[in-house]
A and B are shown apart, each in its own frame.
Chain A
């Protein structure tokens, strides 16, 4: 498993020794928080506060504080939901699928990517909850629980219910997978801890890890099994999310292309988000030797591939709309391109189809600054993709009498900010208190002392 081609360039640069790895990663946890971290944390808490106000008003007054109307019943809520779920794809993909494919370059990024996945899924879960008219009942009525309402059961035909299952399964498996990976590293921190509190907390977190060969063996088997379990989930979650639309009768939603298209889009946006966060983290935590240009380049290639898949999907949709000769379907797609929401459509096309193509140029895909900017652009584009699918399909469907226009209110924005607040608060807490790079795994790919140092 640890065989590495001697021709391949080292994945970790800077001639790090095993001790260096421990030192570099653990010191972030052990040191006092630095000013950048404190500033960033304050900022995310402020965002969370503003968002919490919007959420409070939403719950106090009703869904009417949003800009939705009789024609457009979903807009920012489900757009944000799908967007966050999409972002939540990269982590598990990196850890699970790349683990199965023995892609070792994943080792220095999988920890943060998985954390991001879990936080993104938490953010995503906010929207199916908050978008409900009656959250106080919906949060448990949507679960198939035995109840005293007679024979009242959930509707297993509903894609929304499938979402409940798909997302909760994905969330739990991702969480377990992430946590199992953390155990040896927690043990390292525990072993280095100098104060009692740290020792106790990390001791508890590390579940009594003893580092025995047998333990390592079990650890690796569990990782492999969980990777095997998580792999189909990566594909299934967004497939099922896409069923929300694909199984409906609304032109622009009712499309069989959605499952692969959504999965590709999810990987696309997930990788972009991982890049955004990793570029910041490696800079702030000075982890340039662990997360190298090589990593970034590889991820950029994945972005180009998935971006192209998404682009082809857009074009295929147009082809199908023409080929089917269904007037409403044809209109829905023309309306995307030239209707009142054409600004959203062209934002999506520019961000998603054109911008990743720049990565064909080696100079751009190996440039930190360019990567950072494009990774953000891609995520803006992917947000617009969901907005375009949801809002432009709904706002002009079958009966022209009901055609309407949706405009966001400050509460739409506020609740979106709320999830950003959650996401970054959790991410910064993670970056401070958890080892951001999987030390145990990275140690397996650094050059051994017997090899010549670079």
Chain B
């Protein structure tokens, strides 16, 4: 896409064109909320993954300080039996992020392939596939996930939560990808590939999915945010991550009675859930704008 192609009066200009990725990066960097969010998110990720290496306590350590409010020694305070809350929140963030990313990965790969196949084949197969999507979408995600998780398939393993939630989020992705593929498949370069003798697998993997990448990245980002909240909800219900391991959802759950007495135990993990979900949503917004060529505008 040329920088100016979206504007009828300017399309006649020969502007040196940049690669798609450079354009996207430029537009993304102009989105202030998204850039700030990305920085915040990176800080949170460093806190979760690098933090434990530097911090003097591990999340399993039991200290002698019981129920301490935040202090220099324990910035997030301690709980009833002496766990350092910051170490616990670090571990919890780690686990929550890992699960959320896995959910996004599973949901995106499944959804993108599903959507691409439905969009490319059209007709009866498309109809059937999209009705399945409709059915899955009508399921109350958390209730179903809780019911399946309670069956103890995979027990308290983090990946079992990711698989269950991933299996429930892909329909969103598939709808978006199908929409993009429906317009892409009418483009001449797809017909050109057919004329060269390319099969459907090649057309999907080499042409359709790479060209739908922008949309896929955006929806994948938003799926991470859904994943964070989904994991939190399951753990809150007691069917997610199990003690002695921990996650942000679990921390909020076990400390919910302490809201009034020892608020630091509840608010720090809660705050992180909100922070991650919000920043990722903003980053997703920024990416969507960056990938959307209609967003190009001339500096006034």
| A, B co-complexed | no
